[in-house]
Amino acid sequence: MTYDRLVCANCAAPVSEGRCPVCRASRERLQRQAGIFGQLNPVVLAALLIALIAVAVLLRQAV
């Protein structure tokens, strides 16, 4: 889950804005857990997967 859609229970603001200490701590924890693909939109990840499959199919046909 991306943290840009999460709402803080402490201040009722989006966690991505980091308005309170709880938001900032949650945002930091989620960024560490997410790793390199954490900032990518799920649609972008799906597009990358489709592109990878297309390249694999093209390479298989070429061989």
Tokens of 26: 């949650």
Whole-angstrom Cα Rg for the chain: 17
- Write out the residue range of the structural domain in which residue 51 sits: 3-62
Give the pLDDT confidence score for residue 39 in this predicted structure: 66
Q: Is the pTM of the predicted complex or chain greater than 0.75?
A: no
Q: How many domains is the chain built from?
A: 1
| Contact assessment for residue 18 and residue 27, using Cβ atoms and an 8 Å cutoff | yes
Give the pLDDT confidence score for residue 2 in this predicted structure: 58
The one-digit pLDDT tens for each residue of the chain (63 residues) are 556 678 888 898 888 888 899 988 888 887 777 666 666 778 888 999 999 999 999 999 987
Buried/exposed code over 2-35 (b: 16+ C-beta within 10 A; e: otherwise): ebeeeebeeeeebbbebeeeebeebbeebeeeee
Give the pLDDT confidence score for residue 34 in this predicted structure: 67
Q: What angle do CA 10, 14, 15 make, to 5 degrees?
A: 70
